[in-house]
Amino acid sequence: MLWRWLKAVLILPANVLVFVPAVVLYLSDYKFELTQGWRAALGFGLASLGLFFAAWTMTLFHRKGKGTAAPWDPPKKLVVAGPYRYVRNPMLTSVFMIQIAEWLLLGAWQLLALFALFFVVNMIYFPLVEEKELEKRFGEDYRRYKENVPRCIPRLTAWNL
């Protein structure tokens, strides 16, 4: 069970949030320096919030969905609990928050460019691939969920399936 989760975390979020940014910064001769003031405070706050939601959503995938966030080991049940009642993909939203936090903390334009690329790719991938797969797997329940809960920007009130 532990290896199942480690594999999902190491292959997906660790690459997007740690390895790829590190390589890009290294290859661009970025000189490491943490920002200060409001940028640092906002960056640490966003990173903390993003990590909290990432951990919460992965726990829900395990406990309620009986799977992981990895495409090779998806949840067996539709998860509509916790932050999933407000936004369809809180994991993606948490990754966005952490990417923006990295940019705020390090002040590297390269990280903002990586975020923009990741955002565009995911805004194309999710409706064309992942959401179609979820509709096949969970049918009408997912279609109703999709009609009522936004993809990335949370709604103000919780929705119940």
Task: Return the domain boundaries, the chain.
Answer: 2-148
The pLDDT assigned to 117 comes to 97
Helix and strand numbers (H, E) in the chain are 7, 0
Local structure of residue 85 (DSSP, 8 states): G
68 and 8 in contact (C-beta within 8 Å)?
Answer: yes
Q: What letter represents residue 159's amino acid?
A: W
160 and 85 in contact (C-beta within 8 Å)?
Answer: yes
Backbone angles phi, psi at 154, to 5 degrees: -60, 145
Give the tens place of pLDDT for each residue, 93-105: 999 999 999 999 9
Angle at 113 between CA 111 and CA 116, to 5 degrees: 110
Q: What percent of the chain has pLDDT over 90?
A: 73
* Cα distance between residue 17 and residue 48, in whole Å: 14
The pLDDT assigned to 129 comes to 93
The pLDDT assigned to 68 comes to 82
User: In whole angstroms, what separates CA 79 from the centre of its chain?
Assistant: 15
> Does the pLDDT value for residue 161 go beyond 80?
no
